Amino acid sequence: MRSGVWCERAVRDGQVESGVRLSVDSAGIVAAVETGTQPRPGDLVLNGVIFPAASNAHSHAFHRALRGRTHTGGADSFWSWRQGMYRAAGALTPELYEELATAVYAEMAAAGYTSVAEFHYVHHRPDGSPYPGHAMELALGRAAQAAGIRLTLLDTCYLAGGFGEPLTESQLRFSDGSAGAWLDRLKGLRHTFEAEFDPAYVTVGAALHSVRAVPEDALQAIAAGLDPDLPLHIHLSEQPAENQDCLAATGLTPVQLLHRYGLLGPRLTAVHATHLTPEDVALLGNAGATVAMCPSTEADLADGIGPAAALADAGARIALGSDQHAVVDPWLEMRALEHGERLASGVRGRFTPAALHQAVSDAGAAAQGRRAPGFAPGSSCDLMAVDPHTTRTAGADPAQLALAATAQDVTAVVVGGKLTAERGRHLRLGAPGALLTAAIARLDAAAVPDPAEVRQ
């Protein structure tokens, strides 16, 4: 049985078309497209300017609890920020994580995201002992299900505290102890998720935390033992220190190390890729890899501006993620990608508005192994509608709203042909702000204070 979604104006491949009607099958897939039409009885009517929904290519849901709390000045750095992250990770339980992730995914859905790649490594209890039955992973699956967002849970291998370094106490809960044990748990997790969730909405992929957290012998074992059909993600060259340590330990850059073990390819998504050599750029481009840029996080952490245009020119696909959720706004991530390129190069228009939407929608979905959202037959009917008459968007060319709109201008979000959020409010869960306030307060109550805070 088919339903209909009617769009007042739709932006397809950079072109604005009026009266676009989508026929949607029972699985939420676009079956047919008409233009220049009027809505029919029973259609979902979307007014304003309609775009393919956003696909979040990189998320750490629990990092949302750090927003606005890590800016003390002075000696702030990525590494000092990481200590706050470890405190938040140490407080998580399956129950707390489900509550927080539900709120975060509701915030994403209201902003225009309809799918998310969740880079997940908080697997076990704080002492490293396993929870029964994949409790943490199931908590995230249920959170996505409650929020109506498509989830690719990237189960992450994390084995070392650095090159030649053991895990710290804060990292024990991230580790399975060996590559073989991680591969075994991943296999069991996939079976559990297949039995528990609709694969159109909740699936499992794989991730390596970073080359500093996965030793060479483990990279080799994973390259040999990982299902080649799974999406594979990795944090890559986010910090100069990571590159320096990798060169010192292996004589190779992180990209070259992945190349050595056959891990570069179209299924790979390299997250950040901020500090690359020209050879690194060529290797990623020639492999047809995806690079998930997270511009708002990279700015927040002072990581630097990655070579996005050079990577795209070399053949890599550019996707966008919200990472630590300094903001949850696909429009700001698009704008920050282009603005970063302008600041670094002194040239405007490195990414056209159409290319920005490709990055925030199609490329992010491909990084998850999912159908692209949008209007074409065979696409997921995942859409976001924008009001073109707000104080931010008034007068803008509809095709150029990527350089003007924000999530505040999103009036409707559709997942699988069904309305999920409207004007910043999740239809089932209500206002994301209230959910986040309650969840973060409970996480705070469970967290162990920083010793410096206790001294004060």
Name residue, tokens 């003390």. 72
Q: Which two tokens stand for residue 190?
A: 């996939």
Pairing of strands 54-59, 44-52: unpaired
Active site (annotated) includes residue 323: yes
Give the DSSP letter of residue 169. G
284 touches 270 (CB < 8 A): yes
Q: Is the dihedral of CA 158, 160, 161, 163 positive or negative?
A: negative
409 is annotated as an active-site residue: no
List the structure tokens of 49.
């300017």
Burial grade of 38 (CB within 10 A; 0-12, 13-18, 19 or more): exposed
Alpha carbon distance 72, 304 (integer Å)? 19
Instruction: Using alpha carbons, select from 410, 417, 327, 315 the residue that is nearest to residue 373.
Output: 417
- Alpha carbon 41 to chain centroid, angstroms: 36
Q: Where are the beta strands (DSSP E) in 194-322?
A: 202-208, 232-236, 268-272, 290-293, 317-320
Dihedral of CA atoms 346, 348, 354, 355 in degrees, nearest 10, equals: -20
Q: 223-259 in b/e burial notation, b at 16+ Cβ within 10 A?
A: beebeeebbbbbbbbbbeebbebbeebeebbbbbbbb
| φ/ψ (deg, to 5) at 202 | -130, 120
Catalytic residue among 60, 124, 259, 272: 272
CA distance 356 to 353: 5
* CA 249 from centre of chain: 30
Selecting among 245, 300, 303, 323, the annotated active-site residue is 323
| CB contact set of 87 (below 8 Å; sequence gap of 6+) | 447, 448, 450
Q: Looking at the annotation, which residues are catalytic?
A: 272, 323
